[in-house]
Structure 1
Amino acid sequence: MDVLIHLFVGLHIVGIAALLGGFLTQMKAMGRGTARFVPGMLHGALTMLVTGVALLGLNQADDHHINTVKIGVKLALLIVILGLVYVKRDEERIDKGQFALVGLLTTVNIFIAVLWT
């Protein structure tokens, strides 16, 4: 079971990397006002959602303690991120504030995962 959990943690990190990497590649365009949500950002957010739910189930099945408040906060942030990216995915230009919000929420989600014990 531990191998499966570690596999999904790795895939979860790949999703985070895709989402944050997509944001970082558009930072220069954000300064010009031409930033857009690239497909990798949507795929990364979806990967995070699917692997996060799988990790929750696997950890519960393995009788690990689950911090439901932490998971709830992370899920709420991810739903906001996913909603923004999904709704605005076809637009050629994204408002700087909305684009920056996705990057900020992604970073906050990472720090919650790492620092909230």
Structure 2
Amino acid sequence: MEILKNVVLALHIMGVVALLGGVLYQIGAMRAGRARVLPAMMHGAWTMLVTGILLVGLLYPLGHEVNNVKITVKLVVLIAIIVIALVNRKRETVATWVLASIGGLTVLNVLLATVWR
């Protein structure tokens, strides 16, 4: 069961990389006013959601304590990311605040995961 948890955690981290990597990839396009929400960013956000739910579900049978307040805050931040990305995914170009907020919220989620104990 611990191996399964580690595999799901690796997939969760890959989702973060896809989301944040997409934002970083678009920095040049943001400067030129041609930034957009990439499909990889959407896939990363959905991967984070699914694997995050699986991780929480796997913690209970493994006997780990789950900080439900932390998980709820992280879920709210991820839902905000998904909503912003969904609303703007079909636009040819997006305002700079869109990708900046997606990137900032993603970094916030990483900080919540690592700093909040």
Q: TM-score, normalised by structure 1?
A: 0.97
Structure 1 residue identity aligned to 2:86: Y
Which residue of 2 is the match for residue 42 of structure 1? 42
Q: Once superposed, which parts of structure 1, at least 4 consecutive aligned residues long, lie more than 3 Å away?
A: none
Q: Percent identity?
A: 45
Deviation at 1:28, TM superposition (A): 1.1
Q: Deviations over 1:19-61 (max 9, x none)?
A: 0000000011111221100000000000000000000000012
Q: Which 5+ residue runs of structure 1 have no aligned equivalent?
A: none
Structure 2: which 5+ runs fail to align?
Answer: none
C-alpha RMSD of the superposition: 0.7
Q: Return the alpha-carbon distance in structure 2 between the equivalents of residues 70 and 31 of structure 1.
A: 35
CA distance in 2, matches of 1:26, 1:78: 20
**Equivalent in the alignment of 1:62:** 62
Name the aligned partner's letter for residue 115 of structure 1: V
Aligned counterpart, 1:95: 95
CA distance in 2 between counterparts of 1:87 and 1:74 reads 20
Q: TM-score, normalised by structure 2?
A: 0.97
Question: Which residue pairs with 1:9 in the alignment?
Answer: 9
The number of aligned residues is 117
